[in-house]
Amino acid sequence: MIRSLSIPERQVALALSVALALLGLAMAAAARHGAMAVHGAMAMALGLALLFALGGALYDPDAPADRARRYYDEPTRFGIVMTLCWALIGMGVGVWVAALLYWPEATPPWPATSFGRLRPVHTTSVIFGFGGNALIATSFHVLQRTSRARLADAISPWMVLIGFNLFCAWAVTGYLMGSTQSKEYAEAEWYADIWLVVIWVTYFVLYLRTLARRAEPHIYVANWYYMAFILVVAMLHIVNNIALPVSLAGAKSFTIWAGVQDAMVQWWYGHNAVAFFLTAGFLGMLYYFLPVRSGRPIWSYRLSIVSFWGIVFFYIWVGSHHLHYTALPYWVQTLGMTFSVMLLVPSWASAGNAIATLNGAWHKVRDDATLRFMFVAAVFYGLSTFEGSFLAIRPVNSLSHYTDWTVGHVHSGTLGWVAMIIFGAIYTLVPQLWGRETMAWPRAVEWHFWLAVTGTLIYVVSMWNAGITQGLMWRTYDANGALSYSFLQSVQAMAPYYLLRTIGGALFLTGAVICALNCRATMRAASEGATATDRPLAPQPAE
Amino acid sequence: MLRLHYNLEKLSMGLVVGIIVAASIGGAVEIAPLFTIDETVAIPDDLRPQTPLELAGREIFIREGCYACHSQMVRHLADEIDRYGPYSLAAESAYDHPMLWGSKRTGPDLARLGGKYSDAWHVAHLINPRAVAPTSIMPAYPWLTARLDTDILSAELATLALLGVPYSEDMVANAGRDALAQSRPDSDGAANVTERYGETVAIRAFDGDTSRLTEMDALVAYLQSLGTLTRAAYETLGQEAAR
């Protein structure tokens, strides 16, 4: 990692590490106790660790002279390792909290391990830790290959990756200490939010600078999606997280939004985090890795244009479908519902385009578990977007909202679509970037695939049953016009589904563990063998 | 059109501008009108802000992630009104930074919880939910018996006042004292709490022990205040029933 930096770059990185350590020291000294002090100490420890690592290697041999004629893959490799680490943390916590709903007595008597604090640890670890690292790592890879150009500089990719992982670590440790904004999927406190903005701007500038060096006249469709992901997530993150800290020396802050306005801003953010974090970015991944792995060009160029702009334009309207029948103005709910239904067109155009791309390569889908991961991802993308449009229809939502059906829907998207496409990309990238023909244990990929599919199906089907049962029990009246079931009776009815859900999640987690071990074995047997064709088109002048 | 796009794909800044424009329209249309909220949502005359003790309880509610399983938003559907009470009005959460409407009911809605159970029931339930509801799957919160830290309350009220919550200078300055007094009905400060926050504020030892001010006091005070900050929802439903 340090060997890939030139000596002047190492000096700049050293200065940045000192700055990070000082920032951490300032935070810890100002706050003195509480979450912000711990987070300051974490930043300081990270800054010092980087400082020692860089200082020790400052005058080691310089970066290879021909590095400008190669792609810069070290950040992608680091990102993949972090993706796997967060997958194990996030999915592990997910299975644990799922089990707590079945065995609530198993909750240890400590505040940090309570369900309410662990739940955002699960969501943040899987969405930002697992999903975010995968997006950043693959975006660097795809950006370089489709532009035929090396990343614009050697330091900012590391700032993006290390800074982003510090954000994730701050967020999840904050929840354990009880520090949270309570905004779903945006729970991290104000200083972490500001930090993420800095990281994100660095990321976007790096993206544009690398695009500016491209040796291909056209910007490939995968990059449109990655750019939409970076830009719109920035917009959502900033607006939703505007808050007034109680003190600059403490973690606590109050959002400037109140009541119904806050609800609208929150779900405009919340649903578009799904749209632009969990969909747009991963469609970028799909548009690159599916054609590469199957050896087939994207089926329709026009359809990819229509679906891209359709997704960017329609998605932003739909957040209000989270607030049907609430105190939000009725017309906003109706707009959200209408656009949710219309969104099915560009969503299915993308899913259809992906599946049609496999025409002529179906034998590969049969034989290659990696390509099968991507195929199943496209199928679940189509299913989840159909389900999403359906659940957004007001009368359907009256039954499904507040129930486990929503949880099932989200997991059909995240397990079936997002995680599957990530695993497909990982199994494609790991052998390539560590200089091997195949994964160390090709058979284990097959095992992982079937564990993942089985786990997802058990999870989703049990949550459908749970949600519909709950929804019906809550609204059933007896002949006398009284409600038939108490709330507790509906809780009791959930027990078998919560157990099944835990089993489904555990199967999925088992697959992820196999994946991590397989990747570790592959990485350990790495060889330096960059292929002759996998390099930038025109050597760039020295940086 | 296709030709236009063919050229657009060669311009990274062209794509950037296109994405920003396309992704801004929907948000602008749906969010911007809510900035006229002052004119469109009438704040009921009897709506009071939370007392410092209730606010401290709200912070504990947020800290423990209670909102992940309990909504505070009764939808205007017959079964929800029958089960929980009058449907929620926008005005009721006008002072809530952030709102806690929630998105999931692993447990029941709490918007109308205030006054439904006794303080003793809440204390027993929070210490061990299965002691009072054997089939409950709620986690236990035995650590809520810890002493409540009231040092930050004045600063919190001051911050909320900046954001438009009607806390007077008097309320901000006395936040810590008021929190203590609300749990001690026999203390000198109790009358001040009533004076500042109104007759409807409950003043009692919520955890049953007047000698200590605990997190349990704060959380139970908060839970007992839910749905009682204004009568507007009951009046609206009454008017509709009369019609």
pLDDT tens-digit map of A238-250: 999 999 999 999 9
Q: Same domain for A43 and A103?
A: no
| Nearest residue in chain B measured CA to CA from A231 | B20
In angstroms, the separation between the Cα of residue B188 and the nearest Cα of chain A is 29
pLDDT in tens, A310-366: 999 999 999 999 999 999 989 999 999 999 999 999 999 999 999 999 999 999 999
Closest in B64, B108, B137 to A104, CB measured = B137
Closest in A182, A217, A247 to B10, CB measured = A217
Q: Is residue A536 part of a domain?
A: no
pLDDT in tens, A119-151: 999 999 999 999 999 999 999 999 999 999 999
- Report helix, strand or coil for B214: strand
pLDDT in tens, B51-104: 999 999 999 999 999 999 999 999 999 999 999 999 999 999 999 999 999 999
| Nearest residue in chain A measured CA to CA from B157 | A246
Contact A250 B77 (CB under 8 A): no
CATH architecture for the domain at B52-242:
Orthogonal Bundle (1.10)
In angstroms, the separation between the Cα of residue B225 and the nearest Cα of chain A is 17
Q: Is residue A530 part of a domain?
A: no
In angstroms, the separation between the Cα of residue B192 and the nearest Cα of chain A is 25
Place of tokens 């038939």: A484
Whether residue A371 is predicted with pLDDT greater than 90 in this model: the reply is yes
Confidence band, pLDDT 50/70/90 cuts, at residue A542: very low
Integer Cα distance of A69 and A536 in angstroms: 6
Reference A403, options B84, B76, B103; nearest CA is B103
Contact B139 A114 (CB under 8 A): yes
Q: Phi-psi bin for B65: left (phi > 0), alpha (psi -120 to 50), beta?
A: left
Q: Same domain for A437 and A513?
A: yes
What's the angle, vertex CA A77, arms to CA A75 and CA A81, rounded to 5? 115
Closest in A212, A305, A317 to B30, CB measured = A317
Q: Which residues of A touch B133 (CB under 8 A)?
A: 488
Q: Same domain for A343 and A255?
A: yes
Contact B15 A232 (CB under 8 A): no
Average pLDDT over residues A45-68: 91
Q: Which residues of A touch B23 (CB under 8 A)?
A: 228, 231-232, 235, 276, 312-313, 315-316
- Which one of B106, B112, B116 would you mutate to disrupt binding with A, by most A Cβ within 10 Å of its Cβ? B106
The DSSP element (H or E) to which A243 belongs, if any, is strand A243-245
The encoded tokens of residue A201 equal: 């701007």
Q: Same domain for A54 and A197?
A: no
Q: Is residue A537 part of a domain?
A: no
Closest in A110, A268, A474 to B27, CB measured = A268
Q: Which residues of B touch A230 (CB under 8 A)?
A: none
Q: Is residue A501 part of a domain?
A: yes
What's the angle, vertex CA A185, arms to CA A425 and CA B222, rounded to 5? 160
Contact B26 A252 (CB under 8 A): no
Q: Is residue A66 part of a domain?
A: no
Ordered by start, the domain boundaries in chain B are 2-40, 52-242
Confidence band, pLDDT 50/70/90 cuts, at residue A530: low
Place of tokens 């109050």: A254
Integer Cα distance of B127 and B129 in angstroms: 7
Q: Which residues of A touch B101 (CB under 8 A)?
A: 263, 323, 326
Closest in B35, B83, B160 to A254, CB measured = B160
Confidence band, pLDDT 50/70/90 cuts, at residue A534: confident
pLDDT in tens, B155-209: 999 999 999 999 999 999 999 999 999 999 999 899 999 999 999 999 999 999 9
In angstroms, the separation between the Cα of residue A529 and the nearest Cα of chain B is 33
Q: What is the pLDDT of residue A532?
A: 58
- Which one of B21, B50, B63 would you mutate to disrupt binding with A, by most A Cβ within 10 Å of its Cβ? B63
Cα torsion angle, A125, A128, A131, A132, sign? negative
Integer Cα distance of B32 and B62 in angstroms: 28
Contact A182 B105 (CB under 8 A): no
Distance (Å) of CA A277 to CA A323, A410, A411, A467, B103: 21, 13, 15, 26, 20
Contact A116 B31 (CB under 8 A): no
Q: Is residue A531 part of a domain?
A: no
The encoded tokens of residue A495 equal: 């027990």
Contact A262 B99 (CB under 8 A): yes
Distance (Å) of CA A154 to CA A5, A160, A197: 7, 11, 20
Confidence band, pLDDT 50/70/90 cuts, at residue A492: very high
CB atoms within 10 A of CB A4: 16
Contact A316 B159 (CB under 8 A): no
Q: What is the pLDDT of residue B237?
A: 82
Name, in order, each residue with C-beta under 8 angstroms of A197's C-beta and a sequence gap of 6 or more.
Answer: A234, A237, A238
Q: Where are the alpha helices (DSSP H) in A476-484?
A: none
pLDDT-above-70 percentage for chain A:
98
Q: Same domain for A117 and A50?
A: no
Q: Same domain for A432 and A506?
A: yes
Rounded to the nearest angstrom, the gap between the alpha carbon of residue B20 and the centroid of all alpha carbons in its chain is 34
Integer Cα distance of A353 and A304 in angstroms: 7
Helical packing angle, A190-212 and A133-147, nearest 10°: 10
Q: What is the pLDDT of residue B61?
A: 97
In angstroms, the separation between the Cα of residue B208 and the nearest Cα of chain A is 23
Domain boundary among A16, A38, A60: A60
Residue A454, phi then psi, degrees to nearest 5: -60, -45
Q: What average pLDDT is seen over chain A?
A: 94
Q: Give the side-chain half-sphere CA count within 13 A for A275.
A: 33
Q: What is the pLDDT of residue B27?
A: 84
Average pLDDT over residues A416-440: 95
Q: Check if the beta carbon of residue B86 is closer than 8 Å to that of residue B237.
A: yes
Contact B31 A264 (CB under 8 A): yes
Integer Cα distance of A131 and A124 in angstroms: 9
A494: which DSSP letter? T
Q: Give residue B104's identity as a one-letter amino acid code.
A: K
Whether residue A526 is predicted with pLDDT greater than 90 in this model: the reply is no
Contact B75 A262 (CB under 8 A): no
Q: Check if the beta carbon of residue B155 is closer than 8 Å to that of residue A246.
A: yes
Contact B133 A324 (CB under 8 A): no
Place of tokens 């056209």: A218
Q: What average pLDDT is seen over chain B?
A: 92
Q: Where are the alpha helices (DSSP H) in A57-155?
A: 74-102, 115-124, 133-147
In angstroms, the separation between the Cα of residue B35 and the nearest Cα of chain A is 8
If DSSP states are collapsed to H, E and C, what string results for B198-213? CCCCCCCCCCCCCCCC
Enter the pTM of the model.
0.95
Q: Which residues of A touch B137 (CB under 8 A)?
A: 101-102, 104, 491
Q: Is residue A539 part of a domain?
A: no
pLDDT in tens, A142-180: 999 999 999 999 999 999 999 999 999 999 999 999 999
The DSSP element (H or E) to which A244 belongs, if any, is strand A243-245
Domain hosting A34: range is 1-60
Integer Cα distance of A537 and B183 in angstroms: 74
Q: What is the pLDDT of residue A543?
A: 45
Place of tokens 């707590």: A100
Closest in A116, A265, A407 to B31, CB measured = A265
Contact B12 A245 (CB under 8 A): no
Q: Same domain for A393 and A438?
A: yes
In angstroms, the separation between the Cα of residue A263 and the nearest Cα of chain B is 6
> How many distinct structural domains can be found in chain A?
2
| Nearest residue in chain A measured CA to CA from B21 | A313
Integer Cα distance of B97 and B167 in angstroms: 14
- Report helix, strand or coil for A483: strand
Q: Which residues of B touch A339 (CB under 8 A)?
A: 26
Cα torsion angle, A181, A184, A190, A195, sign? positive
In angstroms, the separation between the Cα of residue B111 and the nearest Cα of chain A is 12
Average pLDDT over residues B205-225: 95
Contact B19 A339 (CB under 8 A): no
Burial code (b: 16+ CB inside 10 Å, e: under 16) for A46-78 equals bbbebbebbeebeeeeebeeebeebbbbbbbbb
CB atoms within 10 A of CB A476: 12
Closest in A181, A254, A312 to B159, CB measured = A254
Contact A244 B20 (CB under 8 A): no
Integer Cα distance of A297 and B160 in angstroms: 56
Q: Same domain for A51 and A130?
A: no
